[in-house]
Amino acid sequence: MVPNDSDWAYSATGLLIEDLPLLTTAHIRPYVIATLLHRGAVSFSEVLNTIAPHCSYSDLRIGAWDPVDEEWCEDSRLEKLVNEVLGEMVSDGTLRYNDANELWVLTSNNLSMVISWVASLGGRMPAHLLSELGKEQISRLPEAVYKQLL
């Protein structure tokens, strides 16, 4: 008997769900946001490892034909989408890339978006972001008041 694709567990839910939907950036963004609110930074491999158990087989294939992009791909579809999500967040000022640690770090540039994430998830702001905001608020005070606080 030759097994078909639905008999193999390519992901954590492979035995329960035969056809997993193809990933989009909307599927990846919540994983990135959750890690950012927990730690304040995220690495590329961390996002890949978090999402991989929930992907379909075609999202993880390398060097195969991508039916969505209609081209041969060097990276998996998952890797392309994670790069796209992190790139979007850098371009809108929500993240900055830290070369030394190879991490994408949450910034206070797009504070309204971060506050909306925290409010909608019932979470809390990362400690580094709170301390960064505190320094910005203190530096805006008049010099005489600022000296008293130090």
3-class DSSP assignment, residue 97: strand
Nearest-angstrom CA–CA distance, 53 and 12: 5
CA 10 to chain centre: 22
Nearest-angstrom CA–CA distance, 34 and 24: 17
CA 111 to chain centre: 17
pLDDT digits (tens, 9 = 90+) for 74-98: 788 888 899 999 999 999 999 999 9
Percent of the chain with pLDDT over 90: 26
Nearest-angstrom CA–CA distance, 46 and 84: 15
Mean pLDDT confidence for 69-75: 73
Give the pTM: 0.69
- Which residues make Cβ contacts (< 8 Å) with residue 109, sequence separation at least 6? 93, 94
All domains of the chain in start order, with CATH = 5-124 (1.10.10.10)
Nearest-angstrom CA–CA distance, 9 and 30: 24
* Residue 22 burial by Cβ neighbours in a 10 Å radius (0-12, 13-18, 19+): middle
pLDDT digits (tens, 9 = 90+) for 54-68: 888 777 777 666 666
- In this predicted structure, what is the pLDDT of residue 125? 81
pLDDT digits (tens, 9 = 90+) for 105-124: 998 888 888 888 888 888 88
